[in-house]
Amino acid sequence: MRPLTRAAAFALGAVAGYAADARFADPRRGHPVALFGSAATRLERRLWRDDRAAGTAYTALCVGAVAAGALALDRTVGRRPLGRAALAAAATWTVLGGTSLTREARTVGRSLAAGDLAAARERLPHLCGRDPSALDGQQIARAVVESVAENTADAVVNALTWGALAGTPGLLAFRAVNTLDAMVGHRSPRHARFGWASARLDDVAGWPGARLTALLTVAAAPEPATAWRIWRRDGSAHPSPNAGQAESAFAGAVGVRLGGTLRYGERLEHRPVLGAELRPVTVDDIERACTLSRRVGALALGTTVAGHVLLRLLGKRSGT
């Protein structure tokens, strides 16, 4: 029996890691991403300065350490096919968050369906950074659908895309980039300059996966023509170069209107409306968005695994 090729071992591991996320979701304690976040927080306390240079050094150290460590581990453990597959499975499970995403969204949805607005407001910060205190049920439902769309790209498709491009190191390095953006990339007074590099790096890293998310959303939509039309028309209207791609495609796929005014603590944002001619979000749309997210994740797994194998074959033929 011929041993697994490097590409086949990664593909097998990615499928196993995806299955582990679907079955077990994120571990409640000792999650590697949480451990990385703790280490990054300690480093921030040492390096923080109110300038971009300090933030750039911080970002380079955090992401570089993860990428270098993952590459060294890949070369050591990956000398044997089963080792490569096991490492890819562990990394894939570590970086994916699709199951936790839909579980949190459904938890909020159940509270809204039961008329428990207080419980829904209490749970919403587990999904996004908006201030839920003044949101009514419809606004919370809209926030959940938007968060499911954006995080389908960030927590599933983007990570798998970088796995296709760079194997296990790509998976882990992308998760480090995305985690740093969540920690310091937002526009707070403390991080306006220090978090600039993390935010810009996340924009660059998220570019390919965001477009793939939109394409796969169109493919998975009940009415692909509507999803395609809303995505192509409204995707670039969003202030984020990436979030609008997934959100506009989800708007068309679910058949709802997204965007508008949002509150993040004391900060108010007026975003363009995505799918302005569509109906407002209802509580039932949360389940539709979750189902769509799972379909997009499964399509992303197949697409990126096939893409990784193809890239490896092309690399061998070109002698690289």
Q: What pLDDT is stored for residue 266 in this prediction?
A: 58
- With vertex at residue 185, the alpha carbon angle to CA 252 and CA 52, rounded to the nearest 5 degrees, is 140
Full pLDDT tens readout for the chain, 320 residues? 456 788 899 999 999 999 999 999 987 777 889 999 999 999 999 999 999 999 999 999 999 999 999 999 988 886 788 899 999 999 999 999 999 999 999 999 999 999 999 999 999 999 987 888 888 999 999 999 999 999 999 999 999 999 999 999 999 999 999 999 999 987 788 899 999 999 999 999 999 999 999 999 999 999 999 999 999 999 998 888 899 999 999 999 999 999 877 655 556 667 789 999 999 999 999 999 999 999 999 999 999 999 998 888 877 776 65
Q: Integer distance in angstroms from the first to the last C-alpha of the chain?
A: 26
The Cα–Cα gap between 239 and 67 comes to 29
Using CA of residue 150, residue 152, residue 154, residue 157, what is the dihedral sign?
negative
Q: What pLDDT is stored for residue 244 in this prediction?
A: 93
Q: What pLDDT is stored for residue 263 in this prediction?
A: 59
- DSSP letter at 256? B
Tell me how crowded residue 38 is: count the other CB atoms within 10 A of its CB.
Answer: 10
Q: What pLDDT is stored for residue 262 in this prediction?
A: 67
Q: What pLDDT is stored for residue 313 in this prediction?
A: 81
Going by C-alpha positions, the residue among 95, 1, 13 that lies closest to residue 309 is: 13
Please check whether residue 304 is in contact with residue 164, taking contact to mean a CB–CB distance below 8 angstroms.
yes
The Cα–Cα gap between 232 and 305 comes to 26
